[in-house]
Chains A and B, each alone.
Chain A
């Protein structure tokens, strides 16, 4: 591999939400770059499909529902020593504030925030991270530029961004790094679901605000590969915006 730090050889990487969308692509790209993966997701068939698509050998898939505390604990125990973690699992539902209930808050925060906190608590307490490990969180541009109906989703992502900074502060002595990727809309199944929910027209109108057009899962995955690799060893406690120029808010 010459002397370039832009690779993931000899790195063991744990990825949540790997059954589809951005998470699946992060799994494919990190395997492509030499990483050995432990992937997790709720959907057995889809997760196994991801596993089959991974380049190289020695990858493992664990089915786990991050709404379930026992399954989270069980998952943490099964993890080997890790060089990298990608916390990608998340759900999104547009819901105006006046209809929010305790149940609605829990539905989003259980997966998007609480499970991430519990996983990182267990992973750090049980010393699953090697020195110099890199943690990557999939946030969202909506953490800074929220849409109507996004109180829960964008709130949970804003919470993750600060959580990542605290993790960076608490772990830097081990040279463990923690960063977020902040993407805008990329073409995944979730995007197609959203087209059905809010209509294709309104999604098209939104995408018109992206100078570089709509993104693709690999655009986010490439950033994850960089953050997991030693090429980013001096980057911690920050977020990288991957949004096709959306937040330029230009005209």
Chain B
């Protein structure tokens, strides 16, 4: 599994319309101004295609930060 820094950089790149540097390790991603259901779909599909890990909407809801998400993906991969 890639490092947290790389994971953040990847996710930030995947989420269109996100200013570089807005997604930090401890920001609650739902508080992002551009957060939408599309972002949730993107994160789920990206994690599935890159790491072969299945996340659900409930997982995204139960996590708050990208650090939580990174940990979850790490645990499942």
Flag if B45 contacts A202 (CB, 8 Å). Answer: no
> Range of interface residues on chain A?
10 to 19
Distance, CA A98 to CA B60, complexed state (A):
20
Residues of chain B lying within 8 A (CB to CB) of residue A196: 56-58
**Contact mask for chain B residues 9-21; partner A; CB cutoff 8 A; 1 contact, 0 none:** 0000000000000
User: Given A99-B49, A101-B49, A202-B37, are A197 and B42 neighbors across the interface (CB < 8 Å)?
Assistant: no
B56 and A149 contacting across the interface, CB-CB below 8 Å? no
Interface residues of A in 188-213 (CB under 8 A from B): 196-199, 202
Chain A residues within an 8 Å CB radius of B49? 99, 101
B4 within 8 A of A: no
B14's closest neighbor in chain A, by CB?
A: A98
Chain A nearest CB from B30 CB (Å) reads 11
Chain B residues, CB < 8 A from A99: 42, 45-46, 48-49
- Residues on A with beta carbons closer than 8 Å to the beta carbon of B60: 199
List the A side residues contacting B41 at CB < 8 Å: 94-96, 148-149
- On chain B, the residues within 8 Å of A199 by CB distance are 57-58, 60-61
Asked if A197 meets B57 with Cβ closer than 8 Å, knowing A96-B41, A149-B41, the reply is yes
> In whole angstroms, how far apart are the Cα atoms of A196 and B49 in the complex?
19
Instruction: Say yes or no: B40 contacts A95, CB within 8 Å.
Output: no
B1: Cβ under 8 A from any A Cβ: no
Q: Is B27 an interface residue (CB 8 A)?
A: no
Chain B residues positioned under 8 Å from A198 (CB to CB): 37, 40, 57
Chain A contacts of B32 at CB under 8 A?
Answer: none
CB-CB under 8 A from B42, the residues of chain A are: 96, 98-99
Does B38 contact A148, Cβ atoms closer than 8 Å?
A: yes
CB distance from A41 to the nearest CB of B (A): 23
**In-complex Cβ contact of A202 among B44, B46, B57 (8 A):** B57
A96 close to B38 (CB less than 8 A): yes
A95 vs B42: C-alpha distance in the bound complex, in angstroms?
8
CB contact between A96 and one of B45, B56, B61 (< 8 Å): that residue:
B45
For residue B38, which residues in chain A have a CB less than 8 angstroms away from its CB? 96, 148
Per the bound structure, the CA–CA distance linking A197 and B44 in Å amounts to 9
Complex Cα distance A198/B61, Å? 10
Residue in B closest to A205 when the chains form the complex, CB atoms? B37
- CB-CB under 8 A from B57, the residues of chain A are 196-199, 202
Q: Smallest CB-CB separation from B42: which chain A residue?
A: A96
In the assembled complex, 11 residue pairs joining A and B whose CB atoms fall closer than 8 Å, in A order, are A94-B41, A94-B44, A95-B45, A96-B41, A96-B45, A99-B42, A99-B49, A148-B41, A197-B57, A198-B37, A202-B57
Given A96-B38, A99-B45, 6 more pairs with CB closer than 8 A = A94-B41, A98-B42, A99-B42, A99-B48, A196-B57, A197-B57
List the 5 closest pairs (A to B, CB-CB), nearest first.
A199-B57, A99-B45, A198-B57, A149-B41, A196-B56
**Which residues of A line the B interface, CB within 8 A?**
94-96, 98-99, 101, 148-149, 196-199, 202
